[in-house]
Amino acid sequence: MTREEFEELVAEALDRIPPELTRLMDNVAVFVEDEPAPGDPDLLGLYEGTPLTERGEWYAGVLPDRITVYRGPVLRMCESREDVVAETEITVVHEIAHHFGIDDARLHDLGYG
């Protein structure tokens, strides 16, 4: 799958997030990278920033939070295009959940682990 096709899948996954949630997303940007850092080659996605639940009155004038979805690990773990579509959506939802302050344990309980 080309990078452009993968980026389109990420965009489609973002489009499926309910509007009532996307309206609440604040100061966050989503990126696609080919590979994560060498120390974590199986990482599918990464949230970097300050979750909404931890922002206080001090939160102003900061760079956007960053959500990165890694193409290589997703493609390597999936056997079909349908698997890639499903895993991309799970990864996007997982990282957005971190933006809302939901931790990995709760995400695993919800099936987004």
CA gap 106, 110 in Å, rounded: 6
Interatomic CA distance for residues 3 and 24, integer angstroms: 28
Are the C-beta atoms of 55 and 93 separated by less than 8 Å? Answer: no
Q: What is the pLDDT of residues 40-75, one digit of tens each?
A: 999 999 999 988 888 878 877 878 999 999 999 999
pTM listed for this prediction? 0.89
**Beta carbons of 27 and 62 less than 8 angstroms apart:** yes
CA atoms within 13 A on the CB side of 40: 7
pLDDT of 66-94, one tens digit each? 999 999 999 999 999 999 999 999 999 99
